[in-house]
Amino acid sequence: MSLDDPVLAIAPQTQPAAAGSGIPPRFNCFVTGTDTEIGKTLISSAMLHALVQSGVRACGMKPVAAGAELRDGKWHNDDCDQLTAAGNVHLPQSITTPFLFKEPAAPHIAAELEGVSISPVPILAAYVEINAASDAVVVEGVGGFIVPLNDEFDTADLAEQLALPVVLVVGLRLGCISHALLTVEAILSRGLKLAGWVANETQADMAFADENVAALAQRIPAPLLGRVPRLEQPTAEAAADHIDFTQLPHWPLPNPI
Ligand SMILES: Nc1ncnc2c1ncn2[C@@H]1O[C@H](COP(=O)(O)OP(=O)(O)OP(=O)(O)O)[C@@H](O)[C@H]1O
Ligand SMILES: [Mg+2]
């Protein structure tokens, strides 16, 4: 699939609304991470929680999720459930997650097991619907930044097609500096805006955590939005207390009460 395909192109969210249009720019973003299981869902949920606190209609999207269990006649995925709980716009799961697979495996493998080919078209169509129903959308990626979705299309292509500013979650662990800097390079090389990054302490007592964060802050050309400690209760609200999302472009100002 060509990334220049005009049918699939979505107007970049990083651009302000045209002068005089009267439509304020909205906050939408794509959350990626240095790896799987490093806190993308936690930080995406924290972002949704903070958006809801700001008084806007906020919706999470997990376009592709692998790993689901049947409960009360419905297929559940933890990421989807957490994003739904943190937002305040409730759409059918088939819209917020157009591709949900049972097997907790790499998406293209999980899809193949079900005889499905992941296509960007339903994802982009669903994204348009979510946009129409909300004021802010947080799209959580899958695993790290470049994860194959089919033979020609990966999650970085998806971020590019959605034309969203990216927020990078860095799971603080040995090796995270290279993982983070490689990811930053990949984001920028695709012409995407890196809007900010979050340092997430997925493990307690990492040796030289301060030094790792300092090395990253010196090298990542985007604001450090916050450092989330290892939380006893990793809830959206608890994580949001450690992050200053107002540094993100077009973050909504709280409604005066
Ligand atoms: N700062 C933290 N303190 C405590 N637990 C955390 C923290 N960050 C993440 N976790 C826990 O680590 C696990 C992985 O986090 P999360 O699901 O957010 O990762 P992810 O990057 O979204 O993973 P995936 O690639 O599967 O989508 C979860 O159980 C989460 O609650
Ligand atoms: Mg997740």
Tokens for 146, please give them: 């470049």
Output the CA torsion sign for 76, 159, 249, 229.
Answer: positive
pLDDT attached to residue 253: 81
- Give per-residue pLDDT as tens, 132-143: 999 999 999 999
Distance CA 48, CA 53 (A): 9
Kindly give the distance from the C-alpha atom of residue 256 to the centroid of ligand 2, in angstroms, as a whole number.
Answer: 33
Is 202 known to sit in a ligand binding site? no
Q: pLDDT class for 15, splitting at 50, 70, 90?
A: very low
pLDDT > 70 fraction of the chain, expressed in percent and rounded: 89
pLDDT attached to residue 10: 58
Residue to probe by mutation, ligand 1, list 42, 48, 78, 231, most atoms within 8 Å of CB: 42
Q: pLDDT class for 204, splitting at 50, 70, 90?
A: confident
pLDDT attached to residue 16: 46
Distance CA 228, CA 240 (A): 8
Distance CA 15, CA 199 (A): 26
Distance CA 109, CA 196 (A): 31
Q: pLDDT class for 22, splitting at 50, 70, 90?
A: low
Q: pLDDT class for 14, splitting at 50, 70, 90?
A: very low
Show Cβ contacts of residue 208 under 8 Å, excluding neighbours closer than 6 positions. Answer: none
Contact 96, 61 (CB under 8 A): yes
Residue 179 has pLDDT above 90, yes or no: yes
What is the SS3 string spanning the chain?
CCCCCCCCCCCCCCCCCCCCCCCCCCEEEEEEECCCCCCHHHHHHHHHHHHHHCCCCEEEECCEEECCEEECCEEECHHHHHHHHHCCCCCCHHHHCCEEECCCCCHHHHHHHCCCCCCHHHHHHHHHHHHHHCCEEEEECCCCCCCECCCCCEHHHHHHHHCCCEEEEEECCCCHHHHHHHHHHHHHHCCCCEEEEEEECCCCCCCCHHHHHHHHHHHCCCCEEEEECCCCCCCHHHHHCCECHHHCCCCCCCCCC
Domains and CATH numbers, the chain: 27-134+144-247 (3.40.50.300)
For residues 197-213, give the mean pLDDT. 95
Q: pLDDT class for 116, splitting at 50, 70, 90?
A: very high
Q: Which of 16, 28, 50 is nearest to 241 (CA)?
A: 50
Is 162 known to sit in a ligand binding site? no
Q: What are residue 13's phi and psi, to 5 degrees?
A: -85, -10
pTM equals 0.92
Distance CA 105, CA 247 (A): 35
Q: What are residue 200's phi and psi, to 5 degrees?
A: -120, 120
For residues 11-25, give the mean pLDDT. 55
pLDDT attached to residue 81: 97
Residue 2 has pLDDT above 50, yes or no: no
Ligand approaching nearest to the C-alpha of 104: 1
User: CA-based Rg of the chain, rounded to a whole angstrom?
Assistant: 17
What's the mean per-residue pLDDT of the chain?
Answer: 92
Contact 34, 144 (CB under 8 A): yes
More confident residue, 230 or 22: 230
pLDDT attached to residue 48: 98
pLDDT attached to residue 100: 98
Ligand approaching nearest to the C-alpha of 201: 1
- Give per-residue pLDDT as tens, 43-77: 999 999 999 999 999 999 999 999 999 999 999 99
Atom number, ligand 1, closest to the C-alpha of residue 239: 1
62 is catalytic: yes
Is 26 known to sit in a ligand binding site? no
Q: Is the C-beta atom of 223 inside 6 A of ligand 1?
A: no
Kindly give the distance from the C-alpha atom of residue 144 to the centroid of ligand 1, in angstroms, as a whole number.
Answer: 13
